[in-house]
Structures are given as structure tokens and as C-alpha cells.
Amino acid sequence: MKINFAALLGGLLVAGALQAVEAPAPTKLNTTADHSKFKELQREFSSGQEVTKACLTCHTEAALQIHRTKHWTWEVINPLNQQRLGKKNVINNYCISTATNLGACATCHVGYGWVNSSFDFKSQENVDCLICHDTSGNYKKLPGGGQPPVKDTENPPGSGKIVKAIDLAAIAQKVGKTSRDSCGACHFFGGGGDGVKHGDMDTSLASPDKEVDVHMDATGLDFTCSTCHKAPAHDVVGSRYMPTGKDAGEAHMRGKVNKSNPATCQSCHGQTPHKAGAQPAKLNQHTDKVACQTCHIPQFARGGVPTKMHWDWSTAGKLSPEGKPLLKKDAKGHVIYDSRKGDFVVAENVTPEYGWFNGEVTYTLLGDTVSKENGVTLINALGGSASDGRSLIWPMKVMRGSQPFDPVNKTLVKPHVAGNDDSAFWKNFNWEKAIATGMQSVNAPFSGKVDFLKTEMYWPITHMVAPKEKALGCVECHTRGGRLDKIQGVYIPGRDSNQWVDLIGWLAAGGTLAGVLIHGLVRIARRKN
């Protein structure tokens, strides 16, 4: 048998060419720098600070930028009322306060080592770059200082549970832009767990479909958090402490300087967002009184993750007959009682409550007078009315609960709940000890007496925008007993009535009917004649 080597070689070359043509295109790079090639990152790191020091060799101003942000200080001064707000100062009706609980809470701080007042806020190396810029999904920090585990570590101490070490070099070499995952690693878990606090932010937004959020739809628009929440000089726009209640501006133009909030609906869609449909002009008239979110977020907690709607701290501390902490779950496996925290009410697909909101928020802070006799204490009061010209009707999550206060001094308190020490409530279930330690840490008086009062906290809803086909229909508001039944100060056709308007309407309808009948009778009579 003779072998035609020329033909064989030609066939091999053709096959090779076809293989080359059919080879998949290289992955599109989303960055101008491959950090795995940086010599500064090709080494072992024994701490998070060492990684940051390496980052700063190129990103020389990054840490100083972070130092000026609320993500670093956890503090915001409200210019309207000069209240000192931010995570560092406010009291909520979830985990109550970060003060004296920093060992647990500051795990989500963009820094390393904040456990008490000795933390060096001026240190550039204390900035945690990886917490926002990790793209590997492997980065994590331990409670009690917020350091990444560079070696296998027992956590919590004495629990026998081992947290495996992570490779800081491998993670640092894969840093990139922020994502829903990196932002969500903290913000999805606010209040102590997945979806607990916000109601419109939970792990379902990590890779949602269009039904959960039209903007973040992973196979559609695929917005990240920073698509709306821009971060010039690392200062992320948007704030729960000073939100924009009504954006009266037009859509932002690319390239044009605009100092208004780029995270509002109007910043993209303008004041007349409805361009098609049966009645776009009529729908656009609603934008003067109704927030976009009111119609376009019909329910929150829609992604399969429940949110807490009620938290009763007064029932915390119950133990089993053997003296062990209790944990109760509902039929779906959701925790509804925890000895450390009390009773919970959780819910999914929640219809919001609605109210006028102009962006002004006033908090009840440590030292403000509270009393059970006053009924429900508002943790935060939202400003707004139908007549101020600055308000829209907004959807809200209203978090209700019962939390400890000092009945003698008539103030809310900041208890020490998290920790392995004897004064931590989660360790000893002793409110007097826990509150005494917490109040001492913030130099506030405590009488030694403990009681509980009812509280409410308001959270404007702005994520989980549904497809336009799922937006509210007219009848859901324009009817008695509808969604806007409690909204005051505005006339809503179908819901409201006015005796004079009703009388005129009935007279007009009766007159029309009478006219038709008379006309018909006249024609019949004339025909007979």
C-alpha cells in the first residue's frame, strides 16, 4: 500500500486550519489590567493589611478616598436637622445597635480591626480593598476584628467549628469591578441575615430573572449595583439617611455635569417615562404625585427569600427544660423564634404600605425621650405631605417590633448582645448586664431598670422592579379599600366621593337620560301623527 504523504500532509493542514477557525474566541476582558501579572501580588500574605499595602503601591489615593466615605466612617450628618446618623450612631429595631457589638457588626466594615474606640481611622492600611473588589467569591472575614482567615481557624472560639484558610494572593490577583455579589455580601444580609432588613434586597438579586428585577435581570439588562449607585472617588451615591424623595429633574445626559442623584428612576427615565400603551399621557400625569416604585414594585421579598416584618425582643431568653437555647422554625424552615433574639414574623411577596415622602428622615436617637404611654415609638419618621410640593406617594416596608428601653430615664438603650464575654446577652441572657455594658461603652446613663416598648421603622422600597406587564392596574388604587386607601390630602377618583360632585354627576346623568327619553317619546308621537 502506498501512502500519499503530500495528500496526508495537506489534509492535516486543512484540518488544522479548520480547527483554528472553529476555536472559540478568547474571553472578553473587562479590565485593562491583569492583576495576576503584578509582582506585588505574587507572594504570600499573612494579613489583609499586607494586601492593602500592596494595592496602594499603584492605587496611591484609593485609601484616602475611602476615608472620606460613609462606608468607612459609618457616620452621616443630616444637614437638615444636624442629626448625627449612620450605622455608628442610629438605633434600629433589628439588632438594635452596632455600638459594643462591633466584633460582629464590623465584619462588614470596609476595614480591618474595628472592634472598639481604639481603631485607627487614619490608617490607610486598615482599609479593606478585597471586601468590595473580590471577584473570586472566596473572600471572607471572621467576626471579632474582621480579619480574613489566613490559616484554619476555630470560629466561634470553643465551638469546634473550623473555618478553612483562604489564599489572599489568589484572591488579590483576581480583583475587579464591584458586582451584585460583592455589594450583596454585606447589603443582602443587613439586620442579621439574608433579606432580614430591607425587604427589597436579598440573595435573590445575585442572579435574578426578569420577574424579580427588570434591571438586574442576569440574562437581560444585568445591572450591577454601581450601574445606578455611581461611586466617584469611591463615594457611593444614595443614602437611607438622606434619600431623594422627589427628583424633579430630567434624565441625565451622558457627559453633562449633573450633581443630582443618579440612582433615582428619573435620572434615566425622566419625568414622562410612559411612551406607549393605551394612555401614556394619563400615566405620565401620575409622576407628579406618585413615585415610580409605587406602581412598578407591586410586592417586595419576591425572590423566594422572606423578610422580617416583626421582631419581638421581649420574648428572648427562653430556654428548654435542660437550660438550652431554643430555635423554632415554621413549615418552610424559616426561623420564627430564637432564644437569643425573640419572636419573628417573616413574610414573602409582601404588599407595601404607602405614604407621602419628601426625603426628610428624623431618627429617634440615644438620649431622646421615649415612653410606653405614647404608644408606638417611631425609630425613624419620614417627612412629607400632599401639600409641600416636594413629596410623592412611596411604597414602604414598615418594620414593627418590641425592643428594650430604660423606663426610668425614658430612653432607648444600646445593649451589648454579641460576644463571648459574660456581659453579652447572647451569652448570659441577662438584659441588665448587657444594657449596662452597652450604655457604659457609649458613655450614656442607665438606671438598671429594663422594660420594652413597641417601635416602628420605615424603609422606602426601590429595588425588585417588576416587568411593566406586572405594574399595578388602575383599579388597585382607584377603588375604596384599595392600596392607597389610607393616603390623605389628595382626591383619588374611584376611592373618594364629594356630595356636590356626586350630586352634579347624578343630575347630569339623570338629565341625559331624561333628554333621551323625551326625545324618543317626541319622535314616537310625531310618527303617529
Domain ranges of the chain: 75-98+194-206+288-496
Of the candidates 48, 82, 51, 87, which has an alpha carbon nearest to the alpha carbon of residue 69? 87
Instruction: Give the length of the chain.
Output: 529
Enumerate residues 6+ apart whose C-beta is below 8 A from 198.
187, 190, 191, 307, 397, 459, 463
Q: Please, are residues 432 and 416 in contact by the beta-carbon 8 Å criterion?
A: no
DSSP assignments along 249-276, one per residue: S-PPPTTS---S-TTSSHHHH-S----S
Half-sphere exposure of residue 100, counting CA atoms within 13 Å on the CB side? 24
User: Residues with Cβ < 8 Å from 399, sequence gap 6 or more?
Assistant: 93, 94, 197, 308, 309, 310, 311, 456, 457, 458, 459
Mean pLDDT per 10-residue section of the chain, whose length is 529 residues: 40 40 55 91 96 98 98 95 95 94 93 94 98 96 91 87 96 96 96 95 98 98 96 93 93 87 94 86 94 98 98 97 95 96 98 98 97 95 96 98 98 95 94 97 97 98 97 95 95 83 74 84 77
**Helix (H, G, I), strand (E, B), or coil: what is residue 235?**
coil
Q: Return the pLDDT at 525.
A: 80
Nearest to 174 by CA among 46, 51, 64: 51
Q: What is the pLDDT of residue 25?
A: 54
Give the pLDDT confidence score for residue 516 in this predicted structure: 87
C-alpha span between 127 and 121 (Å, rounded) = 9
**What is residue 476's predicted lDDT score, i.e. its pLDDT?**
95
Name the DSSP letter for residue 42.
Answer: S
Q: What is the pLDDT of residues 383-410, one digit of tens each?
A: 999 999 999 999 999 999 999 999 999 9
Question: How far lies 520's CA from each of 1, 189, 516, 523, 527, in Å?
Answer: 108, 71, 6, 5, 11
What radius of gyration do the chain's Cα atoms show? 30
